[in-house]
Amino acid sequence: MCEDIIDRINIAKKERDATILAHFYQPPEIQDIADFIGDSLELSRKAATINTEVIVFCGVHFMAQTAFILSPNKTVLLPRLEAGCPMADMVRPDDILTLKERYPNSLVVSYVNTTAEVKAVSDICCTSSNAVKIIESLPHDRKIIFVPDKNLGSYIMNKTKREMILWNGYCPIHQYLTLSDIASAKKRHPNAEILVHPECSPEVIGIVDFVGSTGNMIAYVQQSKSQEFIIGTEIGIIHEMKRLCPAKEFYLASEKLFCPDMKYISLNDILQSLETMSPKVMVDKDICAKALKPIKRMLAL
């Protein structure tokens, strides 16, 4: 049955002139049939250069919005519109405008995990891959407002020694990871290196071996001489790690590291989306033009 669906997806993909993009947090079967998998930065870059007429985005809503902003002349499909991001919903455009009034000489840096409307009132975007580089590129005589993730913001402040005004947002999944979880995992696997995402709490980040984006984590396990790794991010990433490093062992730091929104999309959803050319993700023309500027500034760096 699964092979039949995959065959039908491949046929529909050719008929629709479509490319399937998938995030590392997607289910294994989605990653396996995607034309390209990556983290938020890699997917943004890919969305800007795709030659096909249709993009099927297997991720969450803000990612599909970013793909549309970068390729507004293409059809962007998100097989399940309800696949959202709780952290992205923690900040609104009005919140940004209020902060700008309070700090008139500030620059607003928005994590890519935000809505198109928030990006539209931001000065530059960043991902967890390039956040430190982005902040270091900004003039020192300007205050920096960072939204929405306080944990990533705290990590950047520690790395760059730049003071920032942090919004009180967070990723519920990464926030769940505790010092106790790390200690328990290390007790079970004493020889394993511990890798976590910068969306984790400062307390957790302070005791691990490596902190990085999903893409950086994957590069790290490939290069490391270690044979065992405790992974402190969403479970989906382990599929790609095992594919690239089949001789190495990977252990999830906590069973709580499971994002329901990243698991909404199924193979059936992709097939139906291609066959019906829906649901389409679109962004208002004015919002799209404004949001494109901070995204392009990010990609230029």
Within 13 Å of residue 110, how many CA atoms lie on the same side as its CB? 33
Please choose, from the candidates 165, 70, 80, 63, the residue with its C-alpha nearest in 3D space to the C-alpha of residue 115: 63
DSSP string, 155-169: HHHHHH---EEE-SB
Residues whose CB is less than 8 angstroms from the CB of residue 12 and which lie 6 or more positions away in sequence, other chains included: 18, 271, 274, 275
Residues whose CB is less than 8 angstroms from the CB of residue 113 and which lie 6 or more positions away in sequence, other chains included: 40, 62, 85, 87, 88, 148, 149, 171
Looking at residue 1, its pLDDT comes to 58
Q: Are residues 127 and 106 in the same domain?
A: yes
Q: Are residues 157 and 203 in the same domain?
A: no
Q: Are residues 161 and 144 in the same domain?
A: yes
Length of the chain (residues): 301
Which one-letter DSSP state was computed for residue 32? H
Please choose, from the candidates 146, 172, 175, 18, the residue with its C-alpha nearest in 3D space to the C-alpha of residue 84: 172
Please choose, from the candidates 175, 181, 210, the residue with its C-alpha nearest in 3D space to the C-alpha of residue 196: 210
Report the DSSP pairing between strands 54-58 and 18-23.
parallel
Q: Are residues 47 and 95 in the same domain?
A: no
Residue with tokens 């099927």: 56
Structural domain harbouring 42:
2-84+262-282
Q: Are residues 167 and 294 in the same domain?
A: yes
Q: Are residues 25 and 45 in the same domain?
A: yes
For residue 23, the cross-strand partners are: 38
Q: Tell me the pLDDT tens digit for each residue of 91-118.
A: 999 999 999 999 999 999 999 999 999 9
Q: Tell me the pLDDT tens digit for each residue of 139-155.
A: 999 999 999 999 999 99
Residue with tokens 């500027």: 293
For 206, the token pair is 């302070």
Q: Are residues 206 and 266 in the same domain?
A: no
Q: Are residues 23 and 73 in the same domain?
A: yes
Q: Are residues 295 and 149 in the same domain?
A: yes
Q: In angstroms, rounded to a whole number, what is the distance separating the alpha carbons of residues 229 and 247?
A: 12
H or E stretch at 280: none
Q: Tell me the pLDDT tens digit for each residue of 146-196.
A: 999 999 999 999 999 999 999 999 999 999 999 999 999 999 999 999 999
Q: Are residues 164 and 296 in the same domain?
A: yes
Q: Are 166 and 150 in contact (CB under 8 A)?
A: yes
Q: Are residues 155 and 115 in the same domain?
A: yes
Q: Tell me the pLDDT tens digit for each residue of 213-233.
A: 999 999 999 999 999 999 999
What's the total number of domains in the chain?
3
Residue 224, domain CATH? 3.40.50.10800
What is the pLDDT of the chain when averaged over all its residues? 96
Residue with tokens 């007429």: 53
